[in-house]
A and B are shown apart, each in its own frame.
Chain A
């Protein structure tokens, strides 16, 4: 495009990186938090602060709960939009599929039911529409956890990092997908731009001028964690490839159906119900048998995922998957049983090369393994990504703000304001939802919805504040919004653990003493953030105080040169 290859690649890096960088910041930050999403859930829902539990008895505890689960309102309304004619009333719908899901870090069990819909789907390429319902259960006693309680880690931060909670036409997935592609592009172009890449491994000059040290840090964080950044953006795309490239729905519908029918015959797992009622044999016995079979293959461990398909039908079957705590690969070594008799239908063989690679890629991203040190490395890698993106913004502004100030244009100012909102503003919103979680009344209806609203509102306020305070950038100075938001963040990050103590009695001495790391660790992390941001705020204050002087002296030298 431009006169040289490297100039063209630099252009792509700068401009695509800038525009999608704001999205990438959120993906990397909330992705990093998602590494400990279950622990954040414990912090946010104090009644679930107990040790992780294994799958409880299906026959005595889970089956009665599954039968009570009703279609979720949202899912019911969504299904209504997809089918011809009015749906039968939600109360009369009969569940046909059950799934239960847990991990080695979950004290609670997530349960889902699907309900078949008799209506004709509007889309001719869709065979069936289903309605879903879910419940969260304390496996120790079968008590339900209210759905008004928001799992801030696994149900808010985690989905935020891959679809931004923009559900309309999957828009959020597409924006994040584009951002991930641009991340990959930025990494490749970044390497092309800098030929002295090996040296950048070891170069950080914190006391040079801001522009130079920012660029050092940008290169350092980009290069040190380069494989990590590449891998996560890439596997993120592969995980959601079905949304980005729906070739099955658009081109191979017929072939896919034929494949599913053939697969059902080959595996012995019926694709459709027979329409003949049948009882359900003891699922607990099937779980025992599955455990025995895994143990015989040298794999111990717990059940991670259990599914009952075509419940109440003679074609029904039960699939039991291992929790993959002992390996990177996301594989369940599924064992399938006939639901009505409990006899074994199939034990899944080793995956083929292609799906083995795919399971390894997705497994490394989704981290079902039990390895705390690796988990922390993930957080470190993700935060390196955040630092890389943030310094990218700052370098962009530092490089241009003097020219823009001279030319009287405001580009650098608005980029800087958005950067404040994307970096400190995002963290303020994160800390605010935690504070709100501890302050809102326990019995508030739709409490979780209020928490989410407060999160977005706090972010919006941070954006407006950043825009309002950004005028000094136009005079080539530092925006005071950086410092002010750092202070706000530091205070919120102290308030959250204090409120946790006041409202639950779980102060740090207690949680550390009891070795209850999900809450102790998160409180400590919040205090660490408070410390770092307070330090940053003080450094910024010093820089602001010295900046006008140097700007004036720079002008004086310039004037002298002109004279």
Chain B
């Protein structure tokens, strides 16, 4: 096995855990904040809840990135899922702004 063949999947794996994990956690946190607002909750409450859960979610996402067999699936769920949640949160805030 050449060095390139070995390093490329490894870097991608580390990237998926750190960057993918971060995107996922960002999406998760923003979705909690947005959902809480949408349900009429207090802004700070939603934010505090999101912050308290965010890093627990990050640990799970991070470890799963190394435990999973398929690297493609890891990227898809962490980065893709995170982006999807961020977009969903953003769309929710747009409907809220319309009400403001």
- Bind each other: yes
Contact A254 B97 (CB under 8 A): yes
Q: Can you name the residue of chain B whose Cβ is closest to the Cβ of A241?
A: B51
24 A-B residue contacts at CB 8 Å? A184-B55, A185-B63, A188-B59, A241-B54, A241-B55, A242-B51, A245-B26, A247-B26, A247-B47, A251-B90, A251-B93, A252-B30, A252-B33, A252-B34, A252-B43, A252-B93, A254-B97, A254-B100, A255-B97, A352-B42, A352-B45, A355-B44, A355-B48, A358-B48
Q: A354 contacts which chain B residues (CB < 8 A)?
A: 45, 48-49, 52
Q: Can you name the residue of chain A whose Cβ is closest to the Cβ of B28?
A: A245
- Beyond A1-B68, A254-B93, A355-B45, 8 additional pairs, beta carbon < 8 A: A1-B66, A5-B67, A12-B63, A241-B51, A252-B43, A254-B100, A255-B93, A255-B96
Q: B37 contacts which chain A residues (CB < 8 A)?
A: 252, 255
B58 at the interface (CB under 8 A from A): yes
Nearest CB of chain A from residue B24's CB, rounded to whole Å: 12
Q: B68 contacts which chain A residues (CB < 8 A)?
A: 1
Q: Can you name the residue of chain A whose Cβ is closest to the Cβ of B43?
A: A259
B83 at the interface (CB under 8 A from A): no
Contact B89 A251 (CB under 8 A): yes
Bound Cα distance from A238 to B63, whole angstroms: 19
Contact A181 B59 (CB under 8 A): yes
A9 at the interface (CB under 8 A from B): yes
Contact B67 A247 (CB under 8 A): no
A11 at the interface (CB under 8 A from B): yes
A256 at the interface (CB under 8 A from B): yes
Contact A185 B59 (CB under 8 A): yes
Nearest CB of chain A from residue B41's CB, rounded to whole Å: 9
Contact A358 B52 (CB under 8 A): yes
Nearest CB of chain B from residue A226's CB, rounded to whole Å: 14
Contact B43 A247 (CB under 8 A): no
The total of chain A residues at the interface (CB under 8 A) is 33
Which residue of A189, A256, A358, A361 contacts B63 across the interface (Cβ within 8 Å)? A189
Bound Cα distance from A237 to B89, whole angstroms: 23
Q: Can you name the residue of chain B whose Cβ is closest to the Cβ of A359?
A: B48
Nearest CB of chain A from residue B62's CB, rounded to whole Å: 6
B78 at the interface (CB under 8 A from A): no
A258 at the interface (CB under 8 A from B): yes
Nearest CB of chain A from residue B36's CB, rounded to whole Å: 10
Nearest CB of chain A from residue B73's CB, rounded to whole Å: 13
Which residue of B52, B67, B86 contacts A361 across the interface (Cβ within 8 Å)? B52
Bound Cα distance from A259 to B66, whole angstroms: 40
Binding site for A on B (CB under 8 A): 13, 18, 25-26, 29-30, 33-34, 37, 42-45, 47-52, 54-56, 58-59, 62-63, 66-68, 86, 89-90, 93, 96-97, 100
Q: Can you name the residue of chain B whose Cβ is closest to the Cβ of A246?
A: B26
Contact A247 B52 (CB under 8 A): no
A357 at the interface (CB under 8 A from B): yes
Contact A1 B62 (CB under 8 A): no
Bound Cα distance from A256 to B86, whole angstroms: 17
Q: B89 contacts which chain A residues (CB < 8 A)?
A: 251
Q: A456 contacts which chain B residues (CB < 8 A)?
A: none
Q: A358 contacts which chain B residues (CB < 8 A)?
A: 48, 51-52
Nearest CB of chain B from residue A356's CB, rounded to whole Å: 10
A8 at the interface (CB under 8 A from B): yes
Q: B44 contacts which chain A residues (CB < 8 A)?
A: 259, 355
Bound Cα distance from A216 to B22, whole angstroms: 34
A248 at the interface (CB under 8 A from B): yes
Q: Can you name the residue of chain A whose Cβ is closest to the Cβ of B17?
A: A12
Contact of A185 with B62 at beta-carbon distance under 8 Å, contacts A251-B93, A358-B52 already known: yes
Nearest CB of chain A from residue B70's CB, rounded to whole Å: 11
Contact A184 B59 (CB under 8 A): yes
- Residue among A9, A241, A252 with the highest chain B CB neighbour number at 10 A: A252
Nearest first, the 9 closest Cβ-Cβ pairs linking A and B are A259-B43, A241-B51, A237-B55, A247-B30, A358-B48, A8-B66, A1-B66, A354-B45, A12-B66
Nearest CB of chain A from residue B27's CB, rounded to whole Å: 10
Bound Cα distance from A255 to B93, whole angstroms: 8
Q: B52 contacts which chain A residues (CB < 8 A)?
A: 238, 354, 357-358, 361
Nearest CB of chain A from residue B98's CB, rounded to whole Å: 11
Bound Cα distance from A234 to B44, whole angstroms: 20
Q: B33 contacts which chain A residues (CB < 8 A)?
A: 247, 251-252
Bound Cα distance from A185 to B29, whole angstroms: 20
